[in-house]
Amino acid sequence: MDRLLPTPEAYELLELTRELADGELAPRVDDFEARGEFPREVIRTIGRAGLLGLPYPEEVGGAGQPYEVYLQVVELLASRWLAVAEAVSVHTLSCYPVYAHGGEQLRKLLPDMLGGELLGAYCLSEPQGGSDAASLATKAVLDGETYLVTGTKAWITHAAAADFYNVFCRTGVPDGGDRRSEEGAAGAIRYIPGAAGISCLLADAATPGIAPQAPEKTMGLRSSPVAQIAFDAAPVPADRLVGPLGGGFKIAMEALDSGRLGIAACAVGLAQGALDYAVAYAREREQFGRSILDFQGIRFMLADAATGIAAARALVLAAARLKDAGRPYSAEAAKAKLFATDTAMRVTTDAVQVLGGYGYVADHPVERYMREAKVLQIVEGTNQIQRLVVAKSL
Ligand code: COS
């Protein structure tokens, strides 16, 4: 397809991504999906090629690319291997809190986080609270200079593979005044329900008391195992607080605004992969003495798919350009995530239909695409939550 990119450098980056996608991703995806194994080395290769820190400035170890370019890289990766594209998106999301809200000390970690050696995970959801993120119950109790974190996080991408976690938890908030008196004694802390009582901590995965559980048995995206993570009085240094005490929910929402665009880009790439495969198959497949591509029933399905993908991509890029311009884009990201992932579900389902019985068996990738599309309508805010965000903006 003919992409419009803002700089010659961006064209080179997309070309490099295409080489990686064809050389490193496409040959491996089926094996890793069949084994349900996370491709840590492939992610490292992607990181060393500079693709794990694309939208962050060069001075903190990123690649200084506009979001609209970063998202087209994610899209291209997703067209070959969704789990890898999702890993890039989730990692990029996981770097956001420290980048945007971390103090000087925490920001010193950014080059390692963005350089590809350290992989991040984002721990917001809990078993009893997914859509209602502000109801989370994981608690952090300050003990001297250390928070002891206890609770359970759920649906965590990279649970067992990550090197660092953003942990959203109830630290309590100061009961008026500063958290500490001048003498350094702990001031009164109140644990309050709702968004205002939530803070963000950056935890090392190797912290004692943090235990990723067995991976969930998922419908698709099997090479990206998700799991619960149990925290049992896990000690996290108090200086790993990201942003202000009680400011964690806003950080989580801001990060998700950008993350939802990553998921939307994944959906565009997945749908494009399904369409490309269906077109190639339809051209070769003959019934009634001619290529099935000659039948209007097939042609219209493919034309609708191509139109939906183009519209989804345009929404994703429009939201990205607002973000790049420093303008509010929360509702636009929600629209893009909603539309792109619903489009991916429809296009991948139709791709299976174009292949008929062959579409339903694992000899062709379209049944995988269809299973993978489903999860994109759910992660980083269900599409019903996206509608709430859009409706609120009206
Ligand atoms: N950026 C910055 N701040 C935001 C924000 C955003 N996008 N969205 C909300 N906030 C702020 C609000 O301004 C509010 O702050 P004030 O009280 O100072 O005004 C605070 O956060 C609470 O907002 P709100 O009352 O709207 O929160 P709700 O509890 O109603 O939750 C939804 C809003 C439903 C949108 C939120 O819970 C959500 O996104 N849920 C889905 C969670 C999700 O995506 N999970 C996937 C996990 S990662 S796989």
Which residue has the least CA distance to atom 13 on ligand 1?
250
What's this model's pTM, rounded to 2 decimal places?
0.96
- For position 172, what pLDDT does the model report? 85
pLDDT at 279 over 80: yes
- For position 187, what pLDDT does the model report? 64
- For position 210, what pLDDT does the model report? 98
Q: What is the mean pLDDT of residues 67-88?
A: 98
**Residues 43 and 79 grouped into a single domain:** yes
CA 99 from chain center: how many Å?
A: 16
Output the CA torsion 349→354→360→364 (10° steps).
-100
pLDDT at 178 over 60: no
Q: What percent of the chain has pLDDT over 70?
A: 97
Number of domains the chain is built from: 3
Q: Could you tell me the pLDDT band of residue 186, with boundaries at 50, 70 and 90? A: low
CATH code, 283: 1.20.140.10
**Residues 78 and 203 grouped into a single domain:** no
Q: How far apart are CA 293 and CA 281, in angstroms?
A: 9
Listed range (180-184, 265-269, 362-366, 375-379) with the worst mean pLDDT: 180-184
pLDDT at 177 over 70: no
Q: What is the mean pLDDT of residues 229-243?
A: 98
Q: Is 253 in the pocket of ligand 1 (CB under 6 A)?
A: yes
Q: Is 1 among the domain residues?
A: no
Q: Is 221 among the domain residues?
A: yes
Which residue has the least CA distance to atom 11 on ligand 1?
250
**Residues 218 and 149 grouped into a single domain:** yes
pLDDT at 344 over 80: yes
CATH code, 184: 2.40.110.10
**Residues 239 and 277 grouped into a single domain:** no
pLDDT at 185 over 60: no
Pocket test for ligand 1, best of 124, 157, 250, 335 (most atoms within 8 A of CB): 250
DSSP assignment, residue 186? B
Q: Is 389 in the pocket of ligand 1 (CB under 6 A)?
A: yes
**Residues 267 and 238 grouped into a single domain:** no
- For position 180, what pLDDT does the model report? 43
Q: What percent of the chain has pLDDT over 90?
A: 94
Which residue has the least CA distance to atom 4 on ligand 1?
250
DSSP assignment, residue 202? E
**Residues 317 and 262 grouped into a single domain:** yes
Range of the domain at 103: 8-114
Q: Is 230 in the pocket of ligand 1 (CB under 6 A)?
A: no
**Residues 14 and 67 grouped into a single domain:** yes
Give the tokens for residue 234: 């896990």
Which atom of ligand 1 is closest in space to residue 195's alpha carbon?
22
Q: Could you tell me the pLDDT band of residue 70, with boundaries at 50, 70 and 90? A: very high
Which residue has the least CA distance to atom 48 on ligand 1?
380
Q: Is 166 in the pocket of ligand 1 (CB under 6 A)?
A: no
How many Å lie between the centroid of ligand 1 and the Cα of residue 250?
A: 7
**Is residue 15 annotated as part of the catalytic site, yes or no?**
no
- For position 80, what pLDDT does the model report? 97
- For position 117, what pLDDT does the model report? 85
Q: Is 209 among the domain residues?
A: yes
Q: Which of 247, 278, 300 is the last residue of a domain?
A: 247
Model confidence pLDDT, tens digit, residues 187-221:
688 999 999 999 999 999 999 999 999 999 999 99
**Residues 234 and 256 grouped into a single domain:** no
Q: Is 378 in the pocket of ligand 1 (CB under 6 A)?
A: no
Which residue has the least CA distance to atom 46 on ligand 1?
380
- Distance (Å) of CA 80 to CA 19, 148, 219: 11, 41, 18
Q: Is 96 in the pocket of ligand 1 (CB under 6 A)?
A: no
Q: How far apart are CA 127 and CA 135, in angstroms?
A: 11
Q: Is 125 in the pocket of ligand 1 (CB under 6 A)?
A: yes
Which atom of ligand 1 is closest in space to residue 330's alpha carbon?
7
Q: Could you tell me the pLDDT band of residue 184, with boundaries at 50, 70 and 90? A: very low
Directed axis angle between helix 67-80 and helix 82-101, to 10°?
Answer: 150
Which residue has the least CA distance to atom 47 on ligand 1?
380
Q: Which of 52, 79, 114 is the last residue of a domain?
A: 114
**Residues 217 and 313 grouped into a single domain:** no
Give the tokens for residue 253: 């929402």
Q: Is 2 among the domain residues?
A: no
* Averaged pLDDT of the chain: 95
**Residues 105 and 177 grouped into a single domain:** no
Residues 6+ positions from 42 with CB-CB distance below 8 Å: 24, 25, 28, 84
- For position 176, what pLDDT does the model report? 65
Q: Could you tell me the pLDDT band of residue 181, with boundaries at 50, 70 and 90? A: very low
**Residues 103 and 147 grouped into a single domain:** no
- For position 179, what pLDDT does the model report? 46
Buried b (16+ CB within 10 A) or exposed e, 346-378: bbbbbbbbbbeeebeeeebbbbbbbbbbbbbbb
Among 271, 261, 279, CA closest to 308: 271
Q: Is 164 among the domain residues?
A: yes
How many Å lie between the centroid of ligand 1 and the Cα of residue 287?
A: 52
Q: How far apart are CA 352 and CA 158, in angstroms?
A: 29
Give the tokens for residue 359: 């579409």
pLDDT at 182 over 50: no
CB 32 within 8 A of CB 39: yes
How many Å lie between the centroid of ligand 1 and the Cα of residue 320?
A: 20
Q: What is the mean pLDDT of residues 51-70?
A: 96
Give the tokens for residue 209: 């008391």
- For position 115, what pLDDT does the model report? 87
pLDDT at 123 over 60: yes
